Amino acid sequence: MSDKRILVTGAGGFIGGALAQQLLDEGVEVRAVDIKPRSEWFQPLDGAECLELDLRRAGTSAQAVAGIDDVYNFASDMGGMGFIENNKALCMLSVLINTHLLEEAHRAGVQRYFFSSSACVYANSKQTDPNVVALKESDAYPADPEDGYGWEKLFGERLCRHFREDFGMHTRIARYHNVYGPFGTYTGGREKAPAAICRKIAEAKLTGNRAIEIWGDGSQTRSFTYIDDCLEGTRRLMDSGVVEPINVGSSELVSINELVSIVEAIAGIKVERRYNLAAPQGVRGRNSDNTLILEAMGWEPSTPLSDGLEQTYRWVYDQLILSGVGRPSLLA
Q: Which of 72, 113, 149, 186 is catalytic?
A: 149
Taking CA atoms, 289 is separated from 154, 159, 263, 325, in Å, by 18, 24, 25, 40
Q: Is 149 one of the annotated active-site residues of the chain?
A: yes
The pair phi, psi for residue 288, each rounded to 5°, is -100, 125
Q: Which of 57, 46, 45, 55 is nearest to 16 (CA)?
A: 45
Tell the burial category of 324 from Cβ atoms under 10 Å away from its Cβ (0-12, 13-18, 19+).
exposed
Tell me how far CA of residue 267 lies from CA of 122, 195, 203, 316, in angstroms: 34, 14, 10, 11
Give the chain's length. 332
Q: What single-letter amino acid sits at 170? A: H
Asked if 11 contacts 50 with a C-beta cutoff of 8 angstroms, the reply is yes
Spatial CB neighbours of 198, under 8 Å, sequence gap ≥ 6 = 186, 263, 309, 312, 313, 316, 317
Per the DSSP assignment, residues forming a β-bridge with 117 are: 175
| Under 8 Å between Cβ of 140 and 120 | no
Task: Answer yes or no: are the C-beta atoms of 284 and 129 closer than 8 Å.
Answer: yes
Q: Which residues are annotated as catalytic?
A: 149
